[in-house]
A and B are shown apart, each in its own frame.
Chain A
Amino acid sequence: MEYKLPFKEYHEALKQDKLLGLKCLECGNINVPPKMVCGKCTSPNMEVVGLSGRGTIQTFTTVFVAPEGRESELPYTIVMVELQEGPWIMGNLIDIDPAKATMELIGKKVVMGHKVFCGDKYSAGEMARPLFSFET
């Protein structure tokens, strides 16, 4: 049985600022991050779809202590965003001074770009992630 949306494809699309997910052909649920089966009904019968990348911030944090090798990125803000289509995904937030991120971020509408993490010796290659900015 083939994995319909491997990370490699998701990552290549994200590098074009395109967010891909999987729509379940049994129950209609939108699944992202991608998986083998639908997160709602467990059917593997899903098709790849493009998502809007638009959503609202559910929670956030600004990181001041970095993992080894990523000190130059500090400080950075991580957000969990609820997409218009329903799922929550993790990304980074720009357009703000990370040190000034407060509870007021929760509920703000965002749109999506991307940023590539070049990888380290533990990461099996480069990896793109969503980069959110405020909807204008």
Chain B
Amino acid sequence: MVKKVAVVGVGETKFSGAQQKTEVELLAEAAMDALKESNLKPKDIQALYIGNVLGDFSEGQGMVQSFAAENIGAFNVPASRFEGACASASMAIRDAFIWVASGFYDIVLAGGVERAASMGTPLATRTFAMFSDSRYEYPCGITFPSVFALLTHLHAKKYDIPLPKLKEQMAIASVQAYKYGILNPKAHLRREVTVDMVLKSFVVCSPLQLHDCCPFSDGAAAVILASEAVAKKLTAKPVYIVGIGQASSGPLSSQKDYLPRLRARELSAKQAYDMAGIKPEDVDIAEIHDCFSIANFIAAEGLGFFPFGKAGEAWEKGQADIGGKVAINLSGGLKSKGHPIGATGAGQVYEIVKQLRGEVEPGRQAPDPKIGLTDTLGGDGGTLCTLILQRGW
């Protein structure tokens, strides 16, 4: 890459259940917060990169990125929409990074927005199933949780972990997410949850129970990226994006040689680690894709934090927490902070930037982190995106 690229400012709405603000309104709020933090004005934005997956279904709104650009005063700039299911905002940020790193732009806005909760569970379940194969998987009644349910049973079999044991480890991961989410004012589900409550909650699709699953959420998040020379003039605390990765996969059938591992993640993570010149053990904090409790383990193993089949034990032993090998999902993760799918990846970057700057609530602030990683997955492992961020001071 020609230039170093920094996140100079970030903004985020509260993630929540169904609420009344439109996607453009939510994105505008997050964007203006990011601009303010960056000491910039709307006219400084040269382009928009926006993740939005289901605006067409949730509010009959397509092309949200163009309406958002006009709405916040970034008149007539190029505005692009990214769709990679739940990885959309990360894809948007990765793409935006490349445009600034190449020297084509100096200051851009990237982020995402979604109103998944506002759709209601039946429609949300139907539309989320669109991230699976519509001809070869959906006729079977596949739903997004059932993709991960299939992976859970396969994981138990492959690594010879008795299912009740694995479920207990999964519950511990959910409890850890809620432990931090309750301290995060922006989190959707802020409540105390115990392992017992997880294991007694209703079964969504065996063996995943309600508290193994993240909620459908509404919300938006935005980040301002700037080239190094510009960033240094705007902030004393630029957070550099030092590694990026992205990979794709086809339906589950096409991944048979790897499942329950998701090859796209391992390829994406390697790209990011190689580019940053670091190893998994160098990562201090990570926001990983815990759409379901099992997804924590699949992600952490795929990212190289723990050996394959051993992530559940790692959570049991506190190795995925502050004081362990790597502190995971201090925001509360998708599980507790929430999952407005088009925005989630930007929410992860928001969290990492705040953590690196030492600006989060004390109970969930990692001690002096220097390197953070975000990991987002879309569909059946159809899109994986990895971003590595590092303190620039």
**Residue contact A78 to B146, C-beta cutoff 8 Å:** yes
**Residue contact B252 to A80, C-beta cutoff 8 Å:** yes
CB contact under 8 A between A68 and B154, given known A33-B251, A127-B139, A129-B140: no
**Residue contact B205 to A59, C-beta cutoff 8 Å:** no
Q: A48-64 CB contact bits vs B (8 Å, 1 = yes)?
A: 00000000001111111
Tell yes or no: A87 within 8 A of B by CB.
Answer: yes
CB contact under 8 A between A82 and B256, given known A65-B143, A90-B137, A90-B140: yes
- For residue B122, which residues in chain A have a CB less than 8 angstroms away from its CB? 66-69, 71
A60 vs chain B, min Cβ distance (A): 6
B62 vs chain A, min Cβ distance (A): 15
Tell yes or no: A134 within 8 A of B by CB.
Answer: no
**Residue contact A78 to B150, C-beta cutoff 8 Å:** yes
Which chain A residues in 75-129 approach chain B with CB under 8 Å?
76, 78, 80, 82, 87-92, 101, 103, 106, 117, 120, 122-123, 127-129
A92 vs chain B, min Cβ distance (A): 5
- For residue A11, which residues in chain B have a CB less than 8 angstroms away from its CB? 135
Tell yes or no: B202 within 8 A of A by CB.
Answer: yes
- For residue B152, which residues in chain A have a CB less than 8 angstroms away from its CB? 61
A88 and chain B: residue at smallest CB distance: B256
Tell yes or no: A39 within 8 A of B by CB.
Answer: yes
**Complex formed: what's the CA distance from A65 to B142 in Å?**
10
Which chain B residues in 305-331 approach chain A with CB under 8 Å?
none
Chain B contact residue count (CB 8 A cutoff) = 42
B127 vs chain A, min Cβ distance (A): 8
**Complex formed: what's the CA distance from A61 to B143 in Å?**
11
- For residue B275, which residues in chain A have a CB less than 8 angstroms away from its CB? none
- For residue A89, which residues in chain B have a CB less than 8 angstroms away from its CB? 136, 253
Tell yes or no: A73 within 8 A of B by CB.
Answer: yes
Majority secondary structure, B binding face: helix
**Residue contact B141 to A70, C-beta cutoff 8 Å:** yes
**Residue contact B153 to A69, C-beta cutoff 8 Å:** no
Q: Which of B143, B150, B153 has the most CB of A within 10 A?
A: B153
Number of residue pairs A-B, CB distance < 8 angstroms: 118
Tell yes or no: B229 within 8 A of A by CB.
Answer: no
**Residue contact A61 to B146, C-beta cutoff 8 Å:** yes
A7 and chain B: residue at smallest CB distance: B135
Chain A contact residue count (CB 8 A cutoff) = 42
Q: A20-48 CB contact bits vs B (8 Å, 1 = yes)?
A: 00000000000011010001000000000
Q: B199-233 CB contact bits vs A (8 Å, 1 = yes)?
A: 00011111110000000000000000000000000
Q: B136-162 CB contact bits vs A (8 Å, 1 = yes)?
A: 111111110110011111101100000
B201 vs chain A, min Cβ distance (A): 12
- For residue A128, which residues in chain B have a CB less than 8 angstroms away from its CB? 139
**Residue contact B149 to A61, C-beta cutoff 8 Å:** yes
Tell yes or no: B133 within 8 A of A by CB.
Answer: yes
**Residue contact A78 to B140, C-beta cutoff 8 Å:** yes
CB contact under 8 A between A67 and B157, given known A90-B142, A91-B140: no
- For residue A62, which residues in chain B have a CB less than 8 angstroms away from its CB? 203, 205-206
Among A80, A103, A122, the residue within 8 A (CB) of B126 is A122
**Complex formed: what's the CA distance from A69 to B129 in Å?**
13
- For residue A65, which residues in chain B have a CB less than 8 angstroms away from its CB? 121, 125, 143, 145, 204-205
22 contacts between A and B (CB under 8 A): A7-B135, A33-B133, A61-B206, A61-B207, A61-B208, A63-B143, A63-B146, A63-B149, A66-B141, A66-B143, A67-B129, A68-B122, A70-B141, A80-B252, A90-B136, A90-B137, A90-B142, A92-B140, A103-B153, A103-B156, A120-B126, A122-B126
Residues on A lying within 8 angstroms of B by beta carbon are: 7, 11, 32-33, 35, 39, 58-71, 73, 76, 78, 80, 82, 87-92, 101, 103, 106, 117, 120, 122-123, 127-130
Report, nearest first, the 9 A-B pairs whose CB atoms are least far apart.
A61-B149, A68-B122, A129-B139, A67-B126, A117-B139, A88-B256, A59-B154, A33-B136, A68-B126
Residues on B lying within 8 angstroms of A by beta carbon are: 121-123, 125-126, 129-130, 133-143, 145-146, 149-154, 156-157, 163, 202-208, 250-254, 256
Q: A59-B151, A66-B122, A82-B256 are in contact. List 4 more A-B contacts (CB 8 A).
A: A68-B125, A73-B141, A76-B141, A87-B253
